[in-house]
Amino acid sequence: MQTATDIIFDNWHPVCAPPSPGAGILRTRLLDVPIEVAAGPRVRRADNGEDPPVLERFGLVWTTLGRPRQDLFDVPEYREPDRRNLSAGPIGVAASAPRAIENFLDLAHFPFVHTDILGAEPHTEVKDYEVRTSDDGSEIIATGCEFFQPLAALTAAGGQKVDYIYRVPHPFCAVLYKSCFVDPSRMDVIAIFIQSMRQERIRAHLVMSMIDEVHSDTEMRRFQQMIFGQDKPILENQRPRRLPLDPRAETPIRADLSGIAYRRWLSANRVTYGVIPAQH
Amino acid sequence: MNHMSPPPPLSPVWHPIAASTDLAVRHVFHGKLLGRELAVWRADDGHVNVWDNRCLHRGVRLSIGMNDGAELKCQYHGWRYASRSAGCTYIPAHPANSPSRQVTNRVFPTIERCGLIWAALEPDQPFIGLPQADWFAAREAIVHAPAALVLNTLAAEAVPRSLAWLSPYAMRLARRAAPDETLIILAQPADGATTIIRALRAGAPADANAWLRRINRVFVTLRDQIEAASPAGEAAAEPDFTPVAAELAEPAPAATAGLTVTVARKWQVAADVFALKLKPLAGTLPAFQPGAHIDVTLPSGQVRQYSLTGGPGENEFWTIGVRRMPQSRGGSRQIAEQVREGDLLSVSAPRHNFPLRRDALRSVLIAGGIGLTPLLAMAKALRHGGHPFELHVFSRDAAHLPFADTLRGFGDNVRLHLGSDPVQTRETVAHLLGPHGFAQHVYVCGAPGLIDAVTRTADHLGWPDEAVHYEHFSNDREINASSSFTVALARSALDVEIPAGCSMLAAIRAAGVSLPSSCERGACGTCVVKVLEGVPDHQDVYLNAREKAAGRSVVTCVSRATSQRLVLDL
């Protein structure tokens, strides 16, 4: 089980979109604790009646069960006036948060899980890329990732090589930047913010910040939901459901460099929620 | 069966885990035994595989994977595992590399009897089955209760004298409601709280459907009675997990040299070529990938390399082709003249220094004579995967064309080039290669002249080095071993002096550092080591010109150093 010292309890976590006045009370769960969210937004713990701190960012309500040591990370692109900021979640998954984050960082599954959209056989090769931890150790950054994609986004015309950058600024949140087909000098941003309801039960909040003047909100949401809907059965069929941090528990390859760094980073930060810690 | 006869005991370690009919064509069945999930599947050759139900890479259940008849392909990243050995044969994210032999899934012993698939979680436990009879099986039922409770509840309904326990998980009985009918009851402990119960009777009943319905009613009544007595909340307790033997908790050991095989068949496949079918003396042959070769130790003690010609699913036997060369060092001649069917040979595990990419839009395979053998395995893998390919075979004449029968099976994918002289060969190669296009690869194996013609022509036509793959049988270059220098082994923190006349490989081994090798003539690439510092003096035919110029790796059996010191990643 989790320990009280787990940094996860001091992190901010997404719980839902801000409820509109008169929308009633949303009952959900965060890190095993039942919570209620009302307009305001206001969050109340149903177990002890306390009102934990709240903030609103990226079109979501965030709260914490502990004492946040720092502000929630930033995604500066989200504030650029010409971007379309949209949420395409939440989607419930019977999996742990770290399994979902690792899947979000993974390129090699594109041809097999997102067939003919984000990848297609036989173009399966993952070229070497760079992974580093930011100077203050607060996030993991993967750069120089590229992959051949038949239909990278709604704005993409046909198959092409697509460049990716990944950020993991929070144990249960990741942000990706990928080639933008409307403006080659900029990148589209897609983020996954995981609400861990229980260790093996999550809601994935998907947020996009795109440069696209053509497609409707519904079309853009459907595209993201289709992609995540293809990941969901994979995530629900991973065993163990919690991410094993022992390096010998599974078989990493060069293509998993970002996943390897993520597992090490979770170990180094002593995260215990949603993982199987390595035995020392 | 007579109620009074002593009951035949059943092994308590072996359990039924599926009905034969659960293994539909190209299906993967999700089984469970003693808390352990199993992926159960039948290959097209009939072999039943019972494996741990998880891909070694990221833990995705293999029961949601694809059974292509010869290999199981994981849904997540397309990793492929061979039938029988469960060795990983391909990792699509790195198409130019061969998976390590360590990537082998856990295989459980299995046997198909009485219309059921049986498995044991422990190795080397003899299977003791039911006596031979025309067993007829009822449909299984799942009961959310421990096996002992299920069996005891059923035993309470038995005609007293009819009841006989065959194992803690099996009994023979006649029910009071049908005293004339003897049943075998088998309880599969899926986990500590779930039992899968099966009934067998000797011989088909007169009205099979009526009997199946009746047994089904018996099981449904039993289940309702048991589950009503123990609420679901309690039954869903943590599984009573029986730990597996300690040796199984470790990854499967890497196959090492010293595999003994029997020559199951030897036959002539061309005027000067024999094929040998090699069968393991015990157990299963390790998985191999197209382009692999093995070392064969000959009766004289000499070691020679031969490519495996089998395709996906051909893993019960290995087939090699051996050409009897008049100028041979005696190795191939010994096989041709001395080795007979039934003889034992010592062989190595497969070595993978000529890997096949499966991400090409066009694969051109060019074979000269006996050089066909690795390309035959590649052609079979490409055909199995539905990848486009051309196989060009150069041969003196039709009589010297090896494996002609197999080649006919490839239809239009094969082009034969008989009796062409060196000039014609170069023209033909230039014509068939054409200019290089996106995701095109060429593979060549044969005499040095053919390899030279293909690599030079490809270079002229603008094919990049990484698209040109070749394998030499041998290194015909004269080795100059006159230099002397020092090798520093970075990881072992060891300096080794290499005197004139002694190879790096031999000196490194003499210093106590192990290093795999195979041909020891600079042809196969098994003993390649990374160079961290210094300038190698390349004398092999394995590395290509670009790799030699880069100087970042060295073939330790023949190459040397032009610098006084060579630092190796060993």
Which chain A positions have a beta carbon within 8 Å of B58's beta carbon?
102, 238, 250
Alpha carbons A174 and A185: distance in angstroms, whole number: 22
Secondary structure string (H, E, C) spanning A202-241: EEEEEEEEECCCCCCHHHHHHHHHHHHHHHHHHHHCECCC
Considering the domain architecture, whether residues B224 and B304 belong to the same structural domain is answered as: no
pLDDT score at B237: 41
Which chain A positions have a beta carbon within 8 Å of B64's beta carbon?
233, 237
Number of A/B CB contacts below 8 angstroms equals 78
When CB atoms are compared, the residue of A112, A124, A125 closest to B76 is A112
Kindly report the nearest CA distance between residue B553 and chain A, in angstroms: 19
Is B354 within a domain? Answer: no
Contact A121, A110 (CB under 8 A): no
Is B390 within a domain? Answer: yes
- pLDDT per residue over B398-451, tens digit each? 999 999 999 999 999 999 999 999 999 999 999 999 999 999 999 999 999 999
Alpha carbons B518 and A67: distance in angstroms, whole number: 62
Kindly report the nearest CA distance between residue B517 and chain A, in angstroms: 24
Which chain B positions have a beta carbon within 8 Å of A238's beta carbon?
58-61
- Cβ-based neighbours of B359, under 8 Å, separated by 6 or more: A121, A122, A123, A124, A125, B92, B95, B439
Which chain B positions have a beta carbon within 8 Å of A158's beta carbon?
none
Considering the domain architecture, whether residues B34 and B140 belong to the same structural domain is answered as: yes
Considering the domain architecture, whether residues B298 and B431 belong to the same structural domain is answered as: no
pLDDT score at A125: 95
Alpha carbons A45 and B21: distance in angstroms, whole number: 52
Considering the domain architecture, whether residues B454 and B492 belong to the same structural domain is answered as: no
- pLDDT per residue over B493-535, tens digit each? 889 999 999 999 999 999 988 888 888 889 988 899 999 999 9
Which chain B positions have a beta carbon within 8 Å of A254's beta carbon?
93-94
Judge whether A237 is closer than 8 Å to chain B, CB to CB: yes
Mark out the alpha helices in A240-280 (DSSP H runs).
257-268
A35: helix, coil or strand?
A: strand
Considering the domain architecture, whether residues B159 and B308 belong to the same structural domain is answered as: no
Considering the domain architecture, whether residues B370 and B500 belong to the same structural domain is answered as: no
Torsions phi, psi for B342 (to 5 deg): 95, -15
Torsions phi, psi for B477 (to 5 deg): -70, 145
ipTM rounded to 2 decimals: 0.95
Kindly report the nearest CA distance between residue B502 and chain A, in angstroms: 36
Which chain A positions have a beta carbon within 8 Å of B358's beta carbon?
122, 124
A246: helix, coil or strand?
A: coil
pLDDT of B251 over the 60 cut = no
B216: helix, coil or strand?
A: helix
When CB atoms are compared, the residue of B57, B60, B93 closest to A237 is B60
Q: Could A237 and B64 be called an inter-chain contact, meaning their C-beta atoms sit closer than 8 Å?
A: yes
- Cβ-based neighbours of A65, under 8 Å, separated by 6 or more: A9, A30, A31, A33, A45, A52
Q: Name the A residues in 137-176 with CB < 8 Å from any B CB.
A: none
Contact A259, A102 (CB under 8 A): yes
Considering the domain architecture, whether residues B334 and B371 belong to the same structural domain is answered as: no
- For residue B477 the two structure tokens come to 């270059």
Alpha carbons B250 and B488: distance in angstroms, whole number: 34
Residue in the block written with tokens 């630092």: B567
pLDDT of B389 over the 90 cut = yes
* Residues paired with A173 in a beta bridge: A170, A193
* Residues paired with B32 in a beta bridge: B37
Instruction: Give the closest residue to B318 by CA, choosing from B358, B356, B289, B353.
Output: B289
- pLDDT per residue over B209-238, tens digit each? 999 999 999 999 999 999 988 765 444 444
Residue B105, domain CATH: 2.102.10.10
Judge whether A111 is closer than 8 Å to chain B, CB to CB: yes
Considering the domain architecture, whether residues B56 and B165 belong to the same structural domain is answered as: yes
Considering the domain architecture, whether residues B121 and B58 belong to the same structural domain is answered as: yes
Alpha carbons A175 and A104: distance in angstroms, whole number: 9
Torsions phi, psi for B65 (to 5 deg): -80, -175
Considering the domain architecture, whether residues B392 and B323 belong to the same structural domain is answered as: no
Mutate to test the interface with A, among B32, B37, B63, B77 (most CBs of A within 10 A): B77
Q: Could B77 and A109 be called an inter-chain contact, meaning their C-beta atoms sit closer than 8 Å?
A: yes
Helices A217-236, A97-104: axis angle to 10 degrees equals 120
Domain count, chain B: 4
User: Which among B424, B450, B472 is the end of a domain?
Assistant: B472
Q: Could B93 and A121 be called an inter-chain contact, meaning their C-beta atoms sit closer than 8 Å?
A: no
Which chain B positions have a beta carbon within 8 Å of A125's beta carbon?
92-96, 359
Judge whether A112 is closer than 8 Å to chain B, CB to CB: yes
Is B241 within a domain? Answer: no
Residue B290, domain CATH: 2.40.30.10
* Residues paired with A210 in a beta bridge: A84
Range of the domain at B391: 362-472
Compute the half-sphere exposure of residue B420: CA atoms within 13 Å on the CB side of its CA: 20
Instruction: Give the closest residue to B234 by CA, choosing from B149, B140, B141.
Output: B149
- Cβ-based neighbours of B539, under 8 Å, separated by 6 or more: B475, B477, B479, B480, B522, B555, B558, B559, B560
B398: helix, coil or strand?
A: helix
pLDDT score at B9: 84
Q: Could B78 and A254 be called an inter-chain contact, meaning their C-beta atoms sit closer than 8 Å?
A: no
User: 10-residue block means of pLDDT along chain A (280 residues)?
Assistant: 71 95 92 96 96 96 92 95 93 98 98 94 94 93 93 76 96 96 92 97 97 93 96 97 91 93 94 89
Q: Locate the chain A residue with the closest alpha carbon to B93.
A: A125
Peptide bond into A122 cis (omega under 30): yes
Q: Where are the domains of chain A?
A: 13-63, 84-276
Q: Could A126 and B387 be called an inter-chain contact, meaning their C-beta atoms sit closer than 8 Å?
A: no
Instruction: Give the closest residue to B364 by CA, choosing from B417, B406, B305, B422.
Output: B417
Q: What angle do CA B348, B449, B517 make, to 5 degrees?
A: 20
Considering the domain architecture, whether residues B60 and B161 belong to the same structural domain is answered as: yes
Which long-range CB contacts under 8 A does B323-326 form with residues at least 24 apart?
A: B323/B270, B323/B272, B323/B273, B323/B369, B323/B370, B323/B402, B324/B272, B324/B273, B324/B274, B325/B272
Q: Locate the chain A residue with the closest alpha carbon to B61.
A: A237
Alpha carbons A74 and A93: distance in angstroms, whole number: 26
Q: What percent of chain B has pLDDT over 70?
A: 93
Burial of B183 by CB count in 10 Å (0-12 exposed, 13-18 middle, 19+ buried)? buried
Alpha carbons B156 and B135: distance in angstroms, whole number: 24
Give strand ranges (E) for A64-186.
84-87, 91-93, 130-133, 140-149, 160-170, 173-179
Is B20 within a domain? Answer: yes
Which chain A positions have a beta carbon within 8 Å of B74's beta carbon?
112
Considering the domain architecture, whether residues B338 and B394 belong to the same structural domain is answered as: no
- pLDDT per residue over B77-87, tens digit each? 999 999 999 99
When CB atoms are compared, the residue of A238, A240, A253 closest to B93 is A253
pLDDT score at B148: 93
Which chain B positions have a beta carbon within 8 Å of A111's beta carbon?
78, 92
User: Which among B278, B313, B347 is the end of a domain?
Assistant: B347
Domain A84-276: state its class.
alpha beta
When CB atoms are compared, the residue of B56, B96, B439 closest to A250 is B56
Is B377 within a domain? Answer: yes
